[in-house]
């Protein structure tokens, strides 16, 4: 029996991905951008990093190009950014094991920890606040801790997306795993846009390399 159209499409995507990874050296810089979160739980605060990746894919015109890659247990989308190339990644492992997918993809694409961007939620910033952090400790974030452990480095640039911390410490788990309230959802579209702008601006600047000294 001939393969179904869906299977053929999957085989084509897999071969195209292999060519992208293993083809002759492409011009420009390559970066991996990983949105941390829990697969199957879109709309939750803990998965806001994946929401940013969705907006990033839409901005770059590759929102329909996500393809599952079993080698790193993640959905990948590939996009050009000027002379640079972006590998967008949404892990298919739970948050506590996100690092395995990120590290396997980094190895697959021949990238160092410094060339891997992590996008994740941040309890200690109110919703609507963003911060770009160049390396550092996990500060209690299990997904970041997993990435540091699996990459054996804490040098990854990180985009922190504030989700706010509940007043009652016992409510933290329910807060991060819960969905955004209707009021919070109204703040999300401009927040995702600003997060995308911040990421792209920083990656463009990094792709140009350090400025020459005096």
Q: What is the 3-state secondary structure (H, E, C) of 117-168?
A: EEEEEECCCCCCCEEEEECCCCCCCHHHHHHHHHHCCCCCEEEEEECCCCCC
The answer to whether 124 and 133 have CB atoms below 8 angstroms apart is: no
Residue of 34, 29, 38 lying closest to 57 (CA atoms)? 34
Query: Does residue 175 have an active-site annotation?
Result: no
Kind and range of the H or E run holding 188:
helix 182-207
Distances (CA, A) of 138 to 72, 88, 91, 97: 22, 21, 18, 14
Name the token pair of 176. 């991060």
C-alpha 125/C-alpha 127 separation (Å) is 7
Q: Which of 46, 141, 175, 202 is catalytic?
A: 46
The answer to whether 119 and 53 have CB atoms below 8 angstroms apart is: yes
Q: How many CB atoms lie within 10 A of CB 61?
A: 11
C-alpha 79/C-alpha 56 separation (Å) is 10
| Residues belonging to the active site | 46
């Amino acid at each position: 029996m001939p393969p179904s159209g869906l299977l053929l499409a999957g085989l084509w995507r897999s071969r195209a991905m292999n060519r992208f990874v293993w083809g002759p050296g492409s011009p420009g810089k390559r970066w991996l951008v990983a949105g941390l979160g829990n697969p199957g739980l879109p709309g939750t605060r803990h998965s806001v990093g994946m929401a940013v990746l969705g907006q990033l894919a839409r901005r770059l015109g590759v929102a329909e190009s996500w393809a599952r890659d079993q080698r790193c247990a993640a959905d990948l989308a590939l996009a050009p950014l000027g002379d640079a190339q972006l590998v967008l990644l949404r892990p298919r492992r739970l948050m506590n094991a996100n690092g395995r997918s990120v590290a396997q993809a980094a190895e697959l694409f021949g990238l160092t920890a410094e060339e891997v961007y992590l996008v994740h939620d941040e309890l200690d910033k109110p919703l609507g606040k963003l911060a770009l952090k160049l390396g550092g400790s996990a500060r209690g974030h299990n997904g970041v801790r997993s990435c540091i452990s699996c990459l054996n480095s804490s040098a990854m640039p990180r985009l922190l997306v504030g989700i706010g911390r509940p007043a009652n410490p016992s409510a933290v788990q329910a807060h991060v795993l819960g969905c955004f309230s209707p009021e919070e959802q109204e703040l999300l579209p401009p927040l995702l846009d600003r997060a995308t702008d911040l990421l792209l601006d920083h990656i463009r600047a990094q792709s140009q390399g350090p400025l020459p000294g005096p």
